[in-house]
Chain A
Amino acid sequence: METISIKFDGKDYAARRGSTILAVALESQKLPASFMRVDIPAPYYYKGINDIDESGVCVVEVDGKLVNASNTRIKPGMEVATRSEAVTAARKEALSKILAIHDKDCTSCFRTDNCEFQELLYQYGFTDEAWLPSEEKVALDTSSRVLVRDNNKCIRCRRCVNVCTKIQSVSAIECTGEGLEAVIAPASPSGLDAASCVNCGQCVAVCPVGALFEKDESQDVLAAIADSEKFVIAQVAPAVRATLGEAFEFPLGVDVEKRIPAALRELGFDKVFDAKFGADLTIMEEANEFMERMQNDGVLPMITSCCPGWIKYCEHFYPNMIENLSSCKSPHQMLGAIAKSYYAEQLGIDKENIVVVSIMPCTAKKYERQRDGESGAGVPDVDVVLTVRELARILEKAEVQIEAVPFEAFDAPFGLGTGAGVIFGASGGVMEAALRTAVEKLTKEELKSLEFSDVRGMSGIKEASYTAAGIEIKVAVVSGLGNANSLLQRVSSGEAYYDFIEVMACPGGCINGGGLPYPSAITRAQEDVRAKRASALYSSDTRSKIRKSHENPMIVQLYESYLGEPGSEKAEQLLHTFYAVR
């Protein structure tokens, strides 16, 4: 790496040649001495999604001229002033222009206190504004079953447009025009729903303000809890334990699994189950389906179906590959179906009175629960899906201090999940979990090493091949729909061949889902948020006593006493679904 010397506010720095001024400033945030760190505000910037910040705020002074720090590259001996009067004045002017188009309904906005724009306004002394809702407002786009767009709040940063287009290859949101005059709108005039949106929620996750959000279902949960007729079950997705803490200012990547059951019980849930159990069940069915396809010349490659964002994408953009999709429901739907059949029978409770609430890192799950073919027991498998953000808001309102609750276990019988189940939350986890079971079943021998490290990590496309009982299994793992798109093009054209593919819509998998707390763009630039969250799951797996789904004693018992075999008629009815061309 070639470094050159430059100066920020008179202090010397060595920086990589070819870097932008902003990149050097962001890199400087890692320096041990806090006084060496350089702050440059960049409200539009988002690493890898919006690398050039056109807000007008991201300016510094070089040779007496104001330049955009996000697209000006450093030169040897460059002297950058980041705090001069001219710089501050320019930033304030730019901020006031953006503020002029922003609905200043801050006091009742759900993003207040974690709004990136608000943070900057405070930093630059915009504290005496009249924080009132705009008088003229455009209507909210509520056409989608999951997501809401509020253009009144939009600050035209284009992060949503870029993530939807460049990262996800969905292009449901478009931008026309320039600067603050630009119009950010769905690709269809009739709204987001008609724009082939797959509800992945990545646009919500990157939005710096409150312009995009999920439809809030928390009232449904509170109503069910208040209803004494209802038996309310919560199930908690793997990624939730690696991310819920962030909403309460825990450090990134802290596993709060032990705090969750007591917190949910305090809210009033009757039972708190672990969706890891559903994940183990999924592996039983999916590994079985895969082996059947392998052994009986079924349609290959088989592609995972845990991710509802991916499913809808496939239905829209790769209808010819619907046959490749596994028929397995996603884990929380499976657990919901079991709760309303087997468990309802065990408890002698009317399945109509069971309310299953899934707590998910995901916005697309809100759509999934409403799909056809997701009512295994004749009633919807899942009644409400809450994102981690919604759960955090409920806990906060109910004054449940997750920092203080005692450490308790999930409830029996579906409180026990394996290490294989917990890694579902990271890209590659489903594949690894499936391989742990499939390879053992094929070889009928115990695996020597449980780590399939080729499919781990945050890279968007991962490939590997394994040999089991003399059969070579070629696998691929992709995350991010853009990556899925390029892989599937190669598969469709015959350029690449795989037996088994795992697809997750969100880059990095569920730990980067669209329903998670918002790390700021600056945090994203400085830390590998996804890797930190994923490492919480992998260390949970390592700590687990049982790390293979088929060794989960409750899974074994469920098959013995109720389902019979994986792929049995009962399993098909409860745990499998179908897809539609859109």
Chain B
Amino acid sequence: MTPCTRSRFSGRESEIGMQKINELGKVYKSDLLVIGGSIAGLATAIKAKQLKPDMDILVVEKGYAGFSGQSTRAGHGIALNDAGGTPTLTTAEYLVGSHTPYMSDQELLLKYIPRKTESAQFLLDCGVSVGKNPDGTLWNAQMPHRLWGMGGIDITVNESLRKHALKLDIRILSRVNIFELLTAKEDGRAIGGIGFDMAHGECNIFRAKAVCLCTHGAHFKKAAGCAGMFMAYGTGLGAAYRAGAMMRNAEFSTQSDNIQVKDGLPSYGAYNLLHNGKGDNISAKYQPGGGKIDGVSAELAIGMRTEVENGNPPIWADLEHPDMLYKIVSAREPEANARVLPNKFEWEELVDEKTAKYRGALGLQPEMTLHFAIQVEALHVDHKFRTCVPGLFASGKMTAAGCSYFGWTHGDGVGNAAVTSLFAGESIAEYFSEDPGMPDLQYDQVRRHKEKIYAPLHRDTAHSHYEIWNRIEELSHDIYIALNKSEKVIHAVLNEIEELKKIVPLLSADDPHSLAKCLEAADSLLAFEMVFRAADMRKESRGIQYPHYRSDYPAQDDKNWLKWINIKQGTSGEMELFTEDIPMWRYPFRPEGYEIPEGHAEEYYVDRARC
């Protein structure tokens, strides 16, 4: 017999260029390349395939598809619409005003909000274990505010989606990490990607008619199940950025949570129950609006710190008098648990038993502390989840800030992936309603990317990716850097980033795993830089859920900053930032005293009294 050749997947290309590319690596061909095989990647692929069954879809995942990705580690709830039929505008008004005020793309918000329950039903129809009532209908926990609902979803979500995708004849490639996108010479549209397989380091080249990125963003948090690594490194963001995609809202990247000191888990919903050592309710003291808001504001976080510094420790949560939110959402209410996620809790029980964790010993007055996570999810997409690069779509968390949704609620980790997948899947199907064609790959581009990707393997320098990550971790967990920013701090961090960038070309690797780490660290740094460049530019403070807080500009400045900050790679490789007016004149909800700027007219007509 003839030995198996590596270029077997290339089809019957006659062009010399393609033959030369085959020599660079194993070539996979498909109509649509989906990068990232967690919930967003799989759900987007499924939605697109359902609408366009003839499409040949290849999903590529760096871990084991179905068993990796953030949704296999999280999985508590999934956001639903309120079962009572609360009008979209009512919910939108709350979200626009409360979370990251007025930064939302309200038109997207209005399209997005009504689809929450639909997205959960979509997952359910794909065989995902979503919490159900005994009669088979979706279990929907009524939230006290009735603005949205909450369903349960199990950690087996990706496993179920993987099965469903296979049933629909979707192709799924595991253990291949893609680091760069490939574009067409003619119009710069996305037509593939390049990376390597994590087991052997073999170069893999992907050729497609369109690409969808579903890789999470960068998430500098070390969570349980991540084996001491960050939850996401930003390689998808980096690849998109270098291919010409635009980023938006990078400054709104810090998530602050109250976590229980004893078990390190967030106590969702206890934001208004925090007390200091003297027994004073400090939520009421610091939280804007007297502690009624749903999230940790920058003010509360800084206040917690102040209380401890002023000699009033410990900070604790009064769970003996829980609010409704805690009762429903928290992982500790038995009936809700049972309804929501049997597998997750079975697994946790086993783990807890083995690690002698503190399950059940938490008590009703747990000591609380703060936890910050910088998560850069700034890839900008339009209402059809198209990036600025033609043929490049995106869904899931990496677009969470970039699409200016800012309606983030509990249950939106999985929920956002599901809803945005519906949008992206539909949009991709539309893109394929006429054959977009498959332009030739550019040999020089493929070769250049390959050289860059493999470069750390050929270096004999002693620098490790940990130098970058450890510093990012230290910085992003420092309250004065991650949360309470000032020009002085930001400039110091940017200077440090410039120093760290000098290490990037010196990183060295000796196997596929460490090679991936080198490339990931470079993109982590890029994502981190975006946050601070944008934070430098935004000279105001705004937001609770993903706050941007500047101690030198502590007030929300609606006069000057109803703007989005966009980031693109400039022609000479530098980071270009520019603002864009938020088209409030098209939106229903505007700050008090807002005046439509010159050159624009009222474009939203609604009897606001009825909302």
Residues of A at the B interface (CB closer than 8 Å) are: 31-37, 125, 127, 224-225, 227-228, 230-232, 245, 249-251, 254, 258, 262, 265-270, 399, 401, 403-407
Cβ-defined contact, A405 with B171, below 8 A: yes
Contacts A33-B133, A403-B173 given; 18 further ones with Cβ under 8 A?
A31-B134, A32-B134, A32-B135, A33-B134, A34-B132, A34-B342, A35-B338, A37-B342, A224-B1, A225-B1, A228-B1, A231-B1, A249-B163, A266-B4, A267-B4, A268-B4, A403-B171, A404-B28
Q: How far is the CA of A141 from the CA of B419 in the complex (A)?
A: 57
Residues of chain B with a CB closer than 8 A to A225's CB: 1
6 closest A-B pairs (Cβ-Cβ)?
Answer: A404-B173, A32-B136, A35-B338, A403-B172, A33-B132, A32-B132
A227 close to B1 (CB less than 8 A): yes
Q: Which of B8, B29, B66 gathers the greatest number of chain A CB atoms within 10 Å?
A: B8
Cβ-defined contact, A230 with B1, below 8 A: yes
Q: How far is the CB of B376 from chain A (nearest CB, A)?
A: 29
Residues of chain B within 8 A of A404, CB atoms compared: 28, 58, 171-174
Q: Which of B1, B127, B139, B354 contacts A269 (CB 8 A)?
A: B1
Which A residues are CB-close (under 8 A) to B199? 399
Interface flag for B169 (CB, 8 Å): yes
Is B560 an interface residue when CB atoms closer than 8 A count as contact? Answer: no
The distance in angstroms between the C-alpha atoms of A431 and B163, with both chains bound, is 33
Which of B139, B171, B342, B353 is within 8 Å of A406, CB to CB? B171
B132 contacts A268, CB within 8 Å? Answer: no
- For B174, the chain A residues whose CB sits under 8 A away are 401, 403-404
Does the CB pair B129–A34 fall under 8 Å?
A: yes
Shortest CB–CB separation between residue A206 and chain B, in angstroms? 24
On whether A270 and B169 interact (CB within 8 A), knowing A32-B134, A35-B338, A403-B65, the answer reads: no
For A32, what are the chain B residues with a Cβ–Cβ distance below 8 Å? 132-136
Does B448 touch A at the CB level, under 8 Å?
no
Query: Which residues of the other chain, A, contact B129 by a CB distance below 8 angstroms?
Result: 34
**21 A-B contacts (beta carbon < 8 Å):** A32-B135, A33-B131, A33-B134, A33-B136, A37-B342, A224-B1, A225-B1, A249-B159, A249-B162, A249-B163, A250-B163, A250-B167, A251-B163, A251-B164, A254-B166, A254-B167, A267-B4, A403-B171, A404-B172, A405-B171, A407-B171
Q: If the complex has contacts A125-B350, A251-B167, A405-B171, are A266 and B1 also in contact, measured as CB distance less than 8 A?
A: no
Tell me whether B360 is interfacial, beta carbon within 8 Å. no
Residues from chain A with Cβ under 8 Å of B134 in the complex: 31-33, 36
Shortest distance between the CB of B366 and any CB in chain A (Å): 26
Chain A residues near B131: list those with CB within 8 A.
33-34
A165 shortest CB reach to chain B, Å = 36
With a cutoff of 8 Å between Cβ atoms, the chain B residues found around residue A268 in the complex are 1-4
Minimum CB–CB distance for A474 against chain B, Å: 40
- For the complex, is B154 an interface residue (Cβ under 8 Å from A)? yes
Shortest CB distance B298–A (Å): 39
Q: Does the CB pair A265–B8 fall under 8 Å?
A: yes
User: How many Å lie between the Cα of A31 and that of B28 in the bound state?
Assistant: 42
CB–CB A406/B9 < 8 A: yes
- The residue in chain B whose Cβ has the minimal distance to the Cβ of A258 is B169
| Chain B residues within 8 Å of A267, by CB | 4
Q: Which residues of A contact B3 (CB under 8 A)?
A: 228, 268
Contact residues in A for B173 (Cβ distance below 8 Å): 401, 403-404
Docked pose: A112 CA to B56 CA in angstroms = 34
- Determine how close the nearest CB of chain B comes to the CB of A123; give it in whole angstroms: 8
- Once the chains bind, are B29 and A125 in contact (CB under 8 Å)? no
Residues of chain B having any CB pair with chain A under 8 Å: 1-4, 8-9, 28-30, 56, 58, 65-66, 127, 129, 131-136, 139, 154, 159, 162-164, 166-167, 169, 171-174, 199, 338-339, 342, 350, 353-354
Known: A232-B1, A249-B163. A407 touches B169 (CB 8 A): yes
CB neighbours (8 Å) of B132 from chain A are 32-34
Shortest distance in angstroms between B348's beta carbon and chain A's nearest beta carbon? Answer: 14
Q: Is the CB of B139 within 8 A of A245?
A: no
In the complex where A34-B132, A35-B339, A268-B4 touch, is A403 in contact with B166 (Cβ < 8 A)? yes
- Docked-complex contact A245 and B154, CB < 8 angstroms: no
> Is there an interface contact between B29 and A35, defined as CB atoms closer than 8 Å?
no
Q: Which residues of B contact A127 (CB under 8 A)?
A: 354
List the B residue with the shortest CB-CB distance to A37: B342
CA distance A33 to B129 in the complex (A): 9
Please, which residues of chain A bring their CB within 8 A of the CB of B172? Answer: 401, 403-404
**CA separation between A230 and B134, bound complex, in Å?**
60
A535 to chain B, nearest CB (A): 13
Rounded to whole Å, the gap between the CB of A491 and the closest CB of chain B is 42
List chain B residues, Cβ under 8 A from A250. Answer: 163, 166-167
Residue of B nearest to A227 (CB): B1
Residues in B whose Cβ lies below 8 Å from that of A266: 4, 8
List, in ascending order, chain A residues with CB within 8 A of B1's CB: 224-225, 227-228, 230-232, 268-270
A267 to B169, CA, bound (A): 21
Which of chain B's residues has its CB closest to A256's CB? Answer: B166
Query: A452 → chain B, closest Cβ, in Å?
Result: 28
Interfacial chain B residues near A125, Cβ < 8 Å: 350, 353
Q: How many whole Å from B93's CB to the nearest CB in chain A? A: 34
Cβ distance B64 to chain A, nearest Cβ, rounded Å: 10
Least CB distance, B127 to chain A, in whole angstroms: 8
Instruction: Report chain B residues within 8 Å CB of A36.
Output: 134
Closest-CB distance, B551 to chain A (whole angstroms)? 48
Residues from chain B with Cβ under 8 Å of A258 in the complex: 169
Residue among B1, B8, B134 with the highest chain A CB neighbour number at 10 A = B1
Complex alpha-carbon distance, A265 and B139, angstroms: 47
Q: With the chains together, A128 CA to B8 CA distance in Å? A: 45
Taking CB as reference atom, which chain A residue is nearest B137?
A32
Residues of chain B lying within 8 A (CB to CB) of residue A230: 1
A279, B93: Cα distance in complex, Å: 67
- Could you tell me the distance between the alpha carbons of A36 and B171 in the complex, rounded to whole angstroms? 34
A251 in contact with B135 (CB, 8 Å): no
Distance of B338 from chain A, by nearest CB (Å): 4
Rounded to whole Å, the gap between the CB of B336 and the closest CB of chain A is: 10
Chain B neighbourhood of A399, CB < 8 A: 199
Chain A hits for B9, CB < 8 A:
406
Are the C-beta atoms of A33 and B4 separated by less than 8 Å? no
Distance (Å) between the CB of B238 and the closest chain A CB?
Answer: 24
Q: How far is the CA of A62 from the CA of B199 in the complex (A)?
A: 52
- A265's nearest neighbour on chain B, judged by CB, is B8
Report whether A34 and B8 are in contact in the complex, using a CB–CB cutoff of 8 Å: no
Contacts of B66 in A (CB 8 A): 249
**By the criterion CB–CB under 8 Å, are A270 and B2 in contact?**
yes
Closest to A12 in B: B134
| Contact partners of B167 in chain A: CB under 8 A | 250-251, 254
Q: Which residues of A contact B353 (CB under 8 A)?
A: 125
Which residue of B is nearest A355, CB measured?
B1
| B523 CB to nearest A CB, Å | 24
Q: How far is the CA of A32 from the CA of B164 in the complex (A)?
A: 18
Chain A residues within 8 Å of B159, by CB = 249
**Least Cβ–Cβ distance between A234 and chain B, in angstroms:** 11
- Residues of chain B with a CB closer than 8 A to A265's CB: 4, 8
Counting chain A CB atoms within 10 Å of each CB, the highest count among B2, B171, B350 belongs to: B171
The answer on a CB contact under 8 Å between A35 and B4 is no
- Closest Cβ of chain B to A129, distance in Å, is 14
Most chain A beta carbons < 10 A, residue from B139, B154, B164: B139
Q: Which residues of A contact B56 (CB under 8 A)?
A: 406-407
In the assembled complex, the Cα of A400 lies from the Cα of B139 at a distance in Å of 40
Nearest residue (CB) in A for B339 is A35
Q: How far is the CA of A313 from the CA of B475 in the complex (A)?
A: 75
| B residues near A254, Cβ cutoff 8 Å | 166-167
Cα(A227)–Cα(B66), bound, Å: 37
CB distance from A325 to the nearest CB of B (A): 36
- What is the CA–CA distance of A405 and B139 in the complex, to the nearest angstrom? 38
Query: Residue of A at shortest CB range from B127?
Result: A251
The listed residue with most B CB atoms (<10 A of its CB), out of A224, A269, A406, is: A406
